[in-house]
Amino acid sequence: MNKLYTLFFSAALLLTALGAQAQQQVTNDMELGDRAFYNCWAFLGFVVNNSIPMNGSFSARSGQVTNNVNLTAQALGTPWIRLAAGDISFKVRTDGNPATNRRVLVSYIPVDTNVPSQNGTPITFFTQEFSNPRFTDVTTLTVPVPAAIVGQTHRILISFLGEGGTGRMGVDDIVIPGEFWLIRPTTVCRKWPLLFLRM
């Protein structure tokens, strides 16, 4: 009887642990209202404010999207993440101002220990062209994590490219399967008031 109880108890612990692991996600809903609170995220040409509402009070808003080549001109970069299988998702929309074309690219950035930032060259694995570059309806994009990088440590880069007009892009509710994973033990990622530290 004791062996049977021990077996059931062990199985329950294992299923609980697997369930917890399957639910690990890195998220950013911008609801802290200021990019300063997300110190391991890269806001490249973006601010956090309430000018392009999507869900809640705040979202990230780009400057005028006028670059059709540079992946980091208007982009959001995540912290280093040990990626898990599943889908990356986020919400996007424009401010409705004039634009010739708009698109979103998702890339992963490998670790490169030969450069001070340790950011390697981005590798793009998803592109979404918008047929209406002035769309104001909230659109949720869902992007599978490439199988080749599951279990590896990368940053995810969400880039906004386009040309023509003064239109800006907004992004909100970023969800990425995986967990914060620091490649430098002295770095602390925080989402106020919680601290995330991995050594």
Domain CATH code at residue 62: 2.60.120.260
Residue 13 lies in a domain: no
**Confidence (pLDDT) at 39:** 76
Residue 170 lies in a domain: yes
Residue 1 lies in a domain: no
Give the span between the Cα atoms of 122 and 108, in whole angstroms: 6
Q: Which domain holds residue 119?
A: 25-196
Q: Pick the closest to residue 139 from 166, 169, 164, 168 (CA basis).
A: 169
Domain count of the fold of the chain:
1
**Confidence (pLDDT) at 44:** 95
Residue 183 lies in a domain: yes
**Confidence (pLDDT) at 195:** 33
How many CB atoms lie under 10 A from the CB of residue 80?
Answer: 26
Structure tokens given for 157 = 């880069």
**Confidence (pLDDT) at 115:** 85
Helix (H) or strand (E) holding 188: none
Residue 16 lies in a domain: no
Q: Pick the closest to residue 177 from 148, 135, 144 (CA basis).
A: 144
Helix (H) or strand (E) holding 159: strand 153-165
Residue 78 lies in a domain: yes
Residue 117 lies in a domain: yes
Q: Which pTM does this prediction carry?
A: 0.82
Residue 82 lies in a domain: yes
- Cα atoms in the 13 Å half-sphere on the side-chain side of 100: 9
DSSP 27-86: EE--TTSSGGGBTTSEEESEEEESSS-SSSS-EEEES----SS-TTSSEEE---EEE-SS
**Consecutive 10-residue runs of the chain (199 residues): their mean pLDDT?**
47 45 83 88 95 94 92 94 97 94 96 87 96 93 98 96 93 96 62 33
